[in-house]
Structure 1
Amino acid sequence: MSGINQVSSDDAGWRFAQCFGDKGEVEDITEADIILPDENTKTDWVRPARQWESARLTSEEPPRPASGPVIIIIIASNLVADQPTNEAHTLQGITDTNHLLGTACVEFDHTGDYLATGDKGGRVVLFERNENKKGCEYKFYTEFQSHEPEFDYLKSLEIEEKINKIRWCKRQNAAHFLLSTNDKTIKLWKVFEKSLKVVAENNSSAQAGPNPPSPPPASALPSSGLPSSPSAAASSSGGTDVNGTPYLRLPRMTYHDTIVAAVPRKVYANAHAYHINSVSVNSDGETYMSADDLRINLWNLNISDQSFNILDIKPANMEELTEVITAAEFHPVSCNLFCYSSSKGTVKLADMREQALCDKHAKLYEEEEDPSNKSFFSEIISSVSDVKFSKDGRYLLSRDYLTLRIWDVNMDNKPVQTINVHDHLRSKLCDLYENDCIFDKFECTFSGDGKNVLSGSYNNYFHIYDTDATQDIVLQADKSAFKAKKIGGKNSKGAAGAGGAGGAGGKGGKNGKPIVDTENIDYNKKILHASWHPREDTIAIAATNNLFLFSKPGQSSSSTPSSGGTTTSGGAP
């Protein structure tokens, strides 16, 4: 992959579009007061927030009135609002501690009109495309608690509520169906719009009030052609019949509001002894598979108490264990094919038509490591963290710690392209091992047309490569991006060019490659999860407590690239 040319986001046409989540840091809050209505004096009782904070740190009981609710007013200097969204979620990073736990996965649906995120607190948040706005813009749709923390008393093991994967099922009616999973349990959720109706009028309400509702006029009553009864005449003229008996009204329901409800339709539990790392929905729309470290199970979406084991690599003696499954994915077109990756750096393609237990693969995709690069860390960095099919199923994309590889499904002897994402980190592997960053699992994804690939890096940078590996577009998912958008200025940090590759700034070097300052990389800021819109050049990036959206206006993924050889000019390999 020699001669790759890095292009700035401005030259490439990519622009920051939106940001959801934690836009305010603790240091951004300049002043805050606690206001408590005092029931004794009927006055507002105001104390500075710092007084309450100092009392909390010293474990003292802060002064407060006898009763009444607590109101917190925050005055912040550096909170920057994004495109119009739900205000409760704009400040959610400050007010909701669960959101501070971070986004753990992000996924577009098959149309791209909806976007789902899962966090470490077990919540799923859905966003809907705002059709009233030009360009790419999403708005809050709904959220629900998908998983709760559990405890396995048999193994004395705590099961986290963190959402590992979210996968959309194909939509068949007005409702949405999606799968979400933590380490042990998979759930099928139905998300739908529900109309709320309330009782607007009944017999008791008609008699209780001093001014009961008047009956409808005679002209509005249905004409049946029959003579009206005395009681009907009495009811239309008053509230009682001729004998003075109160007239009984049938309750009448009226529309009140429409809410978005989420209900679990199926719970697929107790099928995995090890942590679930992947969920993939089959193209037949009826089945899906789930993979843990040693096994892959096949499920029917309508059956929650039974699954079929289609792959088992667990040895008879666990001391002989040499590899684990790291990711698995169904073929997007052929429902009998699936691929899975391992910690040995291999990707295998299996065909379920050959046998019930697919312990013999159909194809093996593996690239031998250069002997000159072998080291103590070779086995760790060769572990494949993610594998994805292109939309047409012709190509495979695999990601390990240092590289991206694009494979032709029909050619397993070598990859079509090998892209060195973290080649500048080879000299820092010892430090990365000590701080456990060498075990970070970066995801990867194809664009909708299969002509570009995306994967993350450190310092909240992520890279977009064309499949010819001739261009590397580097962008940064950082708060500076929407701050620059707010003031309308050009952002040199959020729109990183050649000086921002690999997660560290630097000046351009030979062949347009940057000179990366590996000493100033923030390894706590990393882009692990990303999703590409299936029909447009729009990408969703999960960066710790934030969800960033970037788009390329004026060109969708399905459009024909211009002949000028711009960002997505690289054809399929």
Structure 2
Amino acid sequence: MAGNGGETTWCFSQVKGTLEDDVTEADLISCVEFNHDGELLATGDKGGRVVIFQRDPASKQCVPKKGEYNVYSTFQSHEPEFDYLKSLEIEEKINKIRWLKQKNQAHFLLSTNDKTIKLWKVSERDKRVTGYNTREEGGRPRDPSRVTQLRVPTVRPADLMVEASPRRIFANAHTYHINSISLNSDQETYLSADDLRINLWHLEITDQSFNIVDIKPANMEELTEVITAAEFHPTECNLFVYSSSKGTIRLCDMRAAALCDRHAKLFEEPEDPQARSFFSEIISSISDVKLSNSGRYMMSRDYLGLKVWDFRMETKPVETYPVHEYLRSKLCSLYENDCIFDKFECCWSGDDHRLMTGSYNGFFRIFERSGGGGRRNELTLEASREAAARPRQPLRARRVATTAKRKKDEISVDCLDFIKKILHTAWHPHESIIAVAATNNLFIFQDKY
């Protein structure tokens, strides 16, 4: 199988979503997340909805295997709100979804918008109880005077129903917009981060959280950086990292102090003075940070590229992967149309051998790591409905021409569509199956076995 570091040939599996003619702002996908065994895949959108897809059992049994998912449950997670004290409208857009590890038949996930985090229980019901003594079959209470004999309730089969119910609501703890939530490896606590603070929650306690990072200065005019992402270590429950708009990543140890205002390690790459420009600070801001499944490495995404850091070396990344370096000459126009502020996410493959992140024009990049620290293989692929016409056929690698001389299969950098941006991606935890959100569509690709 191609999931163990060998070169992978990717092919189209599925696309979910409406055609572009019917797209509204509320339909745009804002986050994508596989659960821990990859059987479920959740998306959140700007309309506050969560859609959960379930792996098709037949697709796992057939030869070759297929990465196909069917709609499992759809529910409204968040509604638009209004903060009357600050006269601010709070959008319903889902910023992040995080799955809890499954402990019983039900599934649990956390979802958050800018201010409120909710814990949802997703469960199945395929049986119903009949023969109640105190109420009719329709649910209406029975007149006690008409109850003349005792009935024994019975359980009978019923049509399968998937129910999503909110079990906890964690609110009123963030002054600024929540950009990250991350579950701890203890499966009992989680963190939530906004621009200036990180809070630690217990899943059973909704009215209290502990502030573990606070970078708000006494005078807001002295503010020099904001928190952009935060994540717990995958195995060490006392460690977490957070990134900043200055391009730094801090590792904190909760055993050192209740307030982690002093970091244990600071990961920062020195800036080249000769390369400094007006846009340097903007493009060096880290939009996402993800720890590897092994816990030894972490990956950071800035505007132009990916960096892989070894926890044992703070001074510079051990690997650097340019994502769309050809845009460096376009920074002025990207600043004018606000694209330079786009926040691209990144993800690891289940075996930590590959990395994935998005770009423009419907393009996304997959990098294959090598043991020596160099790049062994990299791919630019496109999430488009044209691929749906060629299922199981290898995806054609895309290339961007950076000079006036353009080859036949290349696209000019001046022809890139900056509206079609791939901000959210996810990788199956055990197989070579990837999910890519392109505006309102969810594309699923897999390796060609």
The TM-score normalised by the length of structure 2 is 0.89
Q: Cα–Cα, structure 1 residues 299 and 483, in superposed 2: closer, same or farther, change >3 Å?
A: same
Give the partner amino acid of 2:441. Answer: N
2:95 maps to what in 1? Answer: 164
Q: Is the 8 A contact 1:203 1:250 kept in 2?
A: no
Distance across 1 between alignment mates of 2:68 and 2:104: 24
2:302 match: 400
Decide whether aligned partners of structure 1 residues 198 and 323 sit closer, same or farther in structure 2, where only a CA change above 3 A counts.
same
After TM superposition, the runs of 4+ consecutive aligned structure 1 residues lying more than 4 A away are 198-205, 246-249
Paired residue type of 1:191 = V
Does residue 342 of structure 2 align to residue 440 of structure 1? yes
Q: Secondary structure at the match of 1:428?
A: helix
Among 511, 531, 539, which residue is 2:426 paired with? 531
Q: Cα deviations across residues 472-519 of structure 1 (Å, max 9, x unaligned)?
A: 11111111111233xx8x68xxx33253589xx9538xxxxx966221
1:193 is matched with which residue: 124, 131, 138? 124
Question: How far apart are 1:136 and its partner, in Å?
Answer: 1.2
In structure 2, what residue type is equivalent to 1:365?
F
* Residues 475 and 316 (structure 1), Cα distance of their counterparts in 2 relative to 1, 3 Å cut: same
Instruction: Describe the shift of the 1:139–1:344 C-alpha distance in structure 2 as closer, same or farther (beyond 3 A).
Output: same
Q: 1:237-283: CA deviations, max 9, x gaps?
A: xxxxxxxxx99683755333221111111000000000000000000
Q: How does 1:465-476 map to 2 (within 5 A)?
A: 465-468=367-370, 469-476=375-382
Q: Residue 118 of structure 1 corresponds to which residue in structure 2?
A: 44
Counterpart of 2:407 (choices 507, 512, 520) is 507
Report sequence identity in percent: 59
Matched residues in 1 for 2:315 and 2:416: separation? 35
Structure 1: distance between partners of 2:170 and 2:295: 28
CA contact (8 A) 1:429 1:438 kept: yes
8 Å CA contact retained: 2:381, 2:398: no
Given that 1:18 and 1:550 are in contact with CA atoms closer than 8 Å, whether structure 2 keeps it comes out as: yes
Match of 1:298 in 2: 200
Residue pair 1:499, 1:507 contacting (<8 A) in 2 also: no
Q: Equivalences for 1:168-567 in 2 at 5 Å?
A: 168-197=99-128, 199=130, 250=151, 253=154, 254-468=156-370, 469-485=375-391, 495-499=395-399, 507=407, 517-554=412-449
Q: CA deviation at 1:146?
A: 0.3
2:12 is aligned with 1:16:
yes
Normalising by structure 1, we get a TM-score of 0.70
1:424 is paired with a residue whose SS is: helix
In the alignment, residue 250 of structure 2 is paired with which amino acid?
K
| Alignment partner, residue 82 of structure 2 | 151
Could you tell me which amino acid in structure 2 is paired with residue 477 of structure 1?
Answer: A
- Residue range with higher mean Cα deviation, 407-416 or 250-259: 250-259
Instruction: Tell whether the 8 Å contact from 2:400 to 2:412 is kept in structure 1 after alignment.
Output: no
Shift of 1:372: 2.5
Residues 257/414 of structure 1: CA separation in 2 closer, same or farther (3 Å cut): same
**Contact 1:114 / 1:128 at 8 angstroms: preserved in 2?**
yes
Match of 1:380, SS state, is helix
Distance in 1 (alpha carbons) for counterparts of 2:135 and 2:239: 64
Output the CA distance in 2 between the equivalents of 1:369 and 1:419. Answer: 17
5+ residue gaps, structure 1, are: 1-10, 27-92, 206-245, 509-513, 555-573
Specify whether residues 204 and 112 from structure 1 end up closer, same or farther in structure 2 by C-alpha distance, changes over 3 A only.
Answer: closer
Alignment CA distance shift 1:506-1:295 (3 Å): farther
Shift of 1:197: 2.2
One-letter amino acid of the counterpart of residue 526, structure 1: K
Consecutive unaligned residues in structure 2, runs of 5 or more: 1-6, 137-146
* Aligned-partner residue type, residue 278 of structure 1: S
Q: Which letter maps to 1:368?
A: P
SS in 2 for 1:433: helix
Deviations 1:534-566 (A, max 9, x none): 101111111101001111143xxxxxxxxxxxx
Q: SS where residue 418 of structure 2 aligns?
A: coil
RMSD of aligned residue pairs (Cα, Å): 2.5
Q: Aligned partners of 2:177 and 2:330: how far apart in 1?
A: 29
Bigger fraction of residues in strand: 2
TM alignment of 1:62-77, pairs within 5 A: none
- Aligned mates of 2:199, 2:148 — CA distance in 1: 64
- The answer as to whether partners of 2:253 and 2:263 remain within 8 angstroms in 1 is yes
Q: Given the superposition, is the C-alpha separation of residues 313 and 537 from structure 1 closer, same or farther in structure 2, using an over 3 Å criterion?
A: same
Task: Give the SS at the match of 2:258.
Answer: coil
Structure with larger Rg:
1
**Structure 2: which amino acid aligns with 1:170?**
K
Structure 1 pair 506/409, CA: closer, same or farther in 2 (3 Å)? Answer: farther
Distance 1:257 1:438, change over 3 A: same
